[in-house]
Every structure is written in structure tokens, then in C-alpha cells.
Amino acid sequence: MPVDGLKARGTFSRPVLAYDPRFIEHVSSPLHVERPQRLEAIVARLVAEGLFTDVLAPTPAALPEVRRVHRATFLEFFRDLKEGFLDPETAVHPETFDIALLAAGATLQTTRAVVDRGSPAVALVRPPGHHAGPDYGGGFCYLNNVAVAAADQVAQGRRVAILDYDAHHGNGTSEIFADEASVLYVSTHQYGIYPGTGAAEDVGMGEGRGFNVNIPFTAGCGDASFHAAYDEIIEPIVRAYRPDVILVSLGVDAHYRDPLTSLALSSAGYVDLLARTARLAKDVCGRRLVVALEGGYHLPALAEVVAGTVARLRGSRIDLELTQAIDLEGKGRPAIEATRRAHEAFWNLR
Ligand SMILES: [Zn+2]
């Protein structure tokens, strides 16, 4: 049965994509790193690999759906601004609000489809969302796409795990669900860069204590560190939490070729991390896995990681070129141990 707001262009036999050409129309400012060519490069690679199929067309999120995570005053300010800035790198133009609503709608509708059908999907959206909080945007983000999708599932009585593999801490997502036990937020990020949040000791508050998990990596952490964090922190916590659906905030800016950060994941490291997450979703929540695009600013790395992920979700592989393994010994050990100490009261991580 078709899901509300999604028009099928293809069969439902395989994991699907969500995409809309309007996502290309978002231009924050000329020469901005969060640029239309990011999504164009992803689509071009998917087309070249024969993977740009089963693409669902989204509709904009409705205001009540967005109000679950953003305050009405912020939404009115953003909608009425027309030209201005949410922060110096997050410019608003007359079309920005509508495109941001479409990105949020795409992520929400993809999640509903995944939950209904029990197979994974990838939401190819711009602008990204994880830095947008209850009453602010910033860091190239306007509305928090993944948070809107998660809150929609919580409203239907479900428990959601959000795994944020972007190189930056998702301060917006973290704050939105800080006191919420129905959403588990787990973030791997380079600690100390923008936005400055995401210490291991920030475990959430009130009912949400223990459900906010930060793994604060330092420069140079790559494949060995991320996979150790996955083995020792992420998978055990997700298995214990038993979510009904897993949402991944997929930023590809932890890649060693990314110009914005100093993390060092390879393309193979990334795709394996997503493939392992998909197996986890198969085990704990009936393949209900949504991968939503966040950052990632080196176009070939971004394109091959996303296409490689789509291929693996469909049971195939593509050739990856940016596979230099820089972090072999696991430089992230201190970060993993800090997370373990911060969470030993909440989870069995031994
Ligand atoms: Zn990022």
C-alpha cells in the first residue's frame, strides 16, 4: 500500500531511495561547501552504477509534524524571514523554508515507508538537519530532518535509535531529545570542532539520562576506531535498547578526504559501518533502517560512500577507490573508554 505523501516511481521490491530535484535548488551562498553539486555527484554515481532506481518522490512535511521538534516561534521567524541568516553560514532565501520542509518530509515519509515495509531506505536530502535544534538553525541546517522523522515515530508509540555518523556532533538532535527515553541518540564525532558539544559526559537529562551517547573522537581517528566503537559501544547499546526503527544521520565528512574535519574513515570503512548497521537493524527491528544524508564535502568520497551503501543495502557491491586505511591501531581508544565510563551506570558494556 502506498504511504501517504510518497509517490512510487518503481516497484517496492527493493530498498528504496527518496529524492526530489528541488533539493538541488537550495543554494545557501555562492561557493558554499554545502552545495548542490554534492547531491548531483551522488545521483550521478548512483545512475552510473545502475542504482538510481525505486526512487520515491516526497511531499513537504506538514507544520504540525515539524512542530513536534521545533518551537512555533522559530518556525514563524524562519518562514517569514525570506532573506537573512540563521547563522553566518546558514543563509535563508525565499525558497529555503519550502525546500527545508521538503527535506524533512522526505525523511519522515521514508521512515514511515521503512516501518510499514520492513526494508531499508536512503533519503537523499538537502539541506542537512542535525545541527537544527528546538529554536535554532545553524551549521548549514534549517530543520532537523531526522528529528522530525523520529518524533513522528515516537508519536505512534515507537522507540527510535538515531546513529549519527557525521563528523560533527548533532547538537540539534541531541538537544531535542535530551530528556526523552523514547529516542536513543548515539554520535561519533570529532570533539572540539563545530559545534563544540558532544562530550562523553553529556549523557542526557531527566528521563533521557543514559539515552544520549557521545563518542568524542580526536583528529586522526578512522576505520579501526569507528569499528571498535561500533563493537564495544554502539551495537551493545542498540541491542539492549531494542528500538523499533534505526535512523542513521549519514554525514560523510568523517572521510579522510573531507576538507572540513580531521577524522580518517575510508570509503570501505564507511560502507562496512553502514552494512554492519543494516545487519543490526535486521536483528533488532526487522530491517527497519533509514539512512538520511547529512554532511560530507569531498564529492568523490561522498558519492562513492553513498552509492556503496545503497549497493550493500541491496545485496551488491561497487568498486571503491578511496580506501586508504589511515587509522589501523585505533587512535580512538581514549574516547571509547571515556564513553564507557560515562555510561557504565546505564548499560552493560563489558
Ligand atoms: Zn558534519
157 contacts: CB under 8 Å, gap ≥ 6: none
The string of DSSP codes covering 119-132 is S-EEE--SS--TT-
Query: Which residue is listed with cell 559501544?
Result: 233
Cβ-contact 201, 342 below 8 angstroms: yes
Active-site residues, by number, are 131
Q: Ligand 1 centroid to 350 CA: how many Å? A: 30
Phi-psi region of 204 (alpha: psi -120 to 50; beta: other; left: phi over 0): left
Q: What pLDDT, on the 0 to 100 scale, is given for residue 10? A: 42
138 contacts: CB under 8 Å, gap ≥ 6: 86, 87, 89, 90, 131, 132, 195
Q: Ligand 1 centroid to 138 CA: how many Å? A: 12
Query: In Å, how far are 118, 147, 191, 290 from 17, measured between CA atoms?
Result: 14, 19, 31, 10
Q: Ligand 1 centroid to 224 CA: how many Å? A: 20
Which cell is 297 given? 564535502
Q: What pLDDT, on the 0 to 100 scale, is given for residue 12? A: 46
Q: Compute the C-alpha angle 347/244/343, nearest 5°.
A: 15
Query: In Å, how far are 72, 81, 272, 281, 312 from 275, measured between CA atoms?
Result: 38, 41, 5, 10, 6
Mean confidence (pLDDT) of the chain:
95
Query: Which residue is listed with cell 548531483?
Result: 40
Q: Ligand 1 centroid to 305 CA: how many Å? A: 15
Q: Ligand 1 centroid to 128 CA: how many Å? A: 9
Q: How confident is the model at residue 7 (pLDDT cuts 50, 70, 90)?
A: low
pLDDT tens digits along 250-273? 999 999 999 999 999 999 999 999
Query: In Å, how far are 14, 46, 193, 312 from 53, measured between CA atoms?
Result: 9, 9, 37, 14
Q: Is a pLDDT exceeding 50 seen at residue 45? A: yes
Q: Ligand 1 centroid to 34 CA: how many Å? A: 10
Q: Is a pLDDT exceeding 90 seen at residue 2? A: no
More reliable by pLDDT, 1 or 20:
20
Region 111-132: mean pLDDT is 97
Q: Is a pLDDT exceeding 70 seen at residue 49? A: yes
Phi, psi for residue 113 in degrees, rounded to 5: -65, -40
pLDDT tens digits along 24-43? 999 999 999 999 999 999 99
pLDDT tens digits along 69-87? 999 999 999 999 999 999 9
Q: What percent of the chain has a predicted confidence (pLDDT) above 70?
A: 96
Q: Ligand 1 centroid to 9 CA: how many Å? A: 31
Q: Ligand 1 centroid to 303 CA: how many Å? A: 15
Q: Is a pLDDT exceeding 50 seen at residue 137? A: yes
Side chain identity, residue 327: D
Q: What pLDDT, on the 0 to 100 scale, is given for residue 15? A: 72
pLDDT tens digits along 140-173? 999 999 999 999 999 999 999 999 999 999 999 9
Query: In Å, how far are 16, 95, 154, 271, 302 from 320, measured between CA atoms?
Result: 21, 36, 37, 9, 11
Q: Compute the C-alpha angle 282/286/289, nearest 5°.
A: 70
pLDDT tens digits along 187-225? 999 999 999 999 999 999 999 999 999 999 999 999 999
Q: Ligand 1 centroid to 192 CA: how many Å? A: 13
Q: Is a pLDDT exceeding 60 seen at residue 5? A: no
Interhelix angle 299-313/36-48, rounded to 10 degrees, is 50
